[in-house]
Amino acid sequence: MKTALKEVVVNVVPTEEELVARARALIPMLRRRAAEVERERMVPADIIEQFKEAGFFRILQPRRWGGYEMNPAVFFKVLMELGRGCCSSAWNMMILGIHNWEFGHLDPRAGDEVWGKDDSVIVASSYPPFGTYRKVDGGYVISGTWHTSSGTDHGQWAFLGQMLLDENKQPVDRLSLLVPRKDYSIIDDWHTFGLAGTGSKSLVVREAFVPFHRAHSLADYSMSERGEMYLYPFSQIFYAAVSSVINGMAQGAVDVFIEQMQTRRDTTGGGKASLSPYVKDRLGNAVARVRSSRARILNMMQETTRYVERRELVPLDERVPSMLDIARVGRECEEAVLLLFKALSARGIFLDNPMQRILRDTLAAANHITQNADDTAGILGGYLLGQPLPPLFYSRDPLPA
């Protein structure tokens, strides 16, 4: 981005309402192009450019590099709107946009390297610790293949996950390592039945050096001088972003269902399908699930924001239940979309009906690790019963029972 435009963007920060309205205005375009996105197996560059122009990538970006440094809840509301239009495009916006928040946790030198000349540069990721590393003077040397890097074709850098081991090969930390595009190659191996348009390809790294200032802990949650909007736990913000997109997908299914039922006739009696008690029951119960999951995400953010605005860390008594609030979104939204899909009967299975694509995308998204409500419920139950929390998730250090 040129300097003159950067100054305008920095000085004129849109309101939450303006950003949400911009996202809502893109829904018709995204719906029209959803089949194209799926067919191409990646989001076209011009859609990403429209997201840039709308300011979505700046919502979580620190002010130091031209961002708006807004509450993550604003980003979540934008994702909820975009998800109504194209699931894969919204997923790319979520994954690529959340990384700008991560720079609030890094040594500023990393942000200067990425955005020093162009503060619109996009960063991709693959957080699971697929690779290997060795510690050297000044940093790490990493190698390996990192999978499912969503939207990676649009990125010029990537965050890669790595498990840090002690001398006994036991995990002691989870790291995020930032590498430039020149240090990895992209393997086009993304062939899936759902979220096919996300272009979540694999990244291959061979002996890349990562200096310490481009590494940070994903497990450490302690106080620092970072801005208050970056005092939330990493897992809360990243996981809730995933849930926000899924919520948008389910709302998109509601939109499509209402639209189709306005004109559909009952094949058995010829009357309006919208008058069927079965149709109305399905729709009402689906909407209840979508509204409930949305409310939990936003309430969770409201409850935790009061801590960070006082420059306090979010306590475990809030963090542990919040993770279940987040994880249950996938299950509830999956149920909502299935309710509606079933009510469409045979018409829903045709490939020109957007409902079948929304169903496939929602099923795929609800399989994301962030939506594992079973394990998360067990963790909450164990915590309430005085049992220890799993290592390297809520803290880098062992937590007492």
Summarised one tens digit per residue, pLDDT across range 295-320 is 999 999 999 999 999 999 999 999 99
Summarised one tens digit per residue, pLDDT across range 107-126 is 999 999 999 999 999 999 99
Q: Point out the residues of the chain with pLDDT beneath 50.
A: 1-10, 400-401
pTM value is: 0.94
Summarised one tens digit per residue, pLDDT across range 1-13 is 443 444 434 458 9
Give the domains, in start order, of the chain with CATH numbers: 3-115 (1.10.540.10), 123-217 (2.40.110.10), 228-384 (1.20.140.10)
pLDDT for position 265: 73
**Whole-Å CA distances, 171 to 143, 209, 388:** 18, 21, 17
Residue that the structure tokens 């930032």 belong to = 178
CB neighbourhood size of 368 (10 A): 18
Summarised one tens digit per residue, pLDDT across range 378-392 is 999 999 999 999 999
Radius of gyration for the chain, computed over Cα atoms and rounded to the nearest angstrom: 21
Summarised one tens digit per residue, pLDDT across range 183-223 is 999 999 999 999 999 999 999 999 999 999 999 999 999 98
- Please give the single-letter amino acid code of residue 91: W
pLDDT for position 267: 67
Alpha-carbon span 258 to 280, nearest angstrom: 10
Alpha-carbon span 102 to 287, nearest angstrom: 33
CB neighbourhood size of 50 (10 A): 16
For residue 294, the Cα-to-chain-centroid distance in whole angstroms is 14
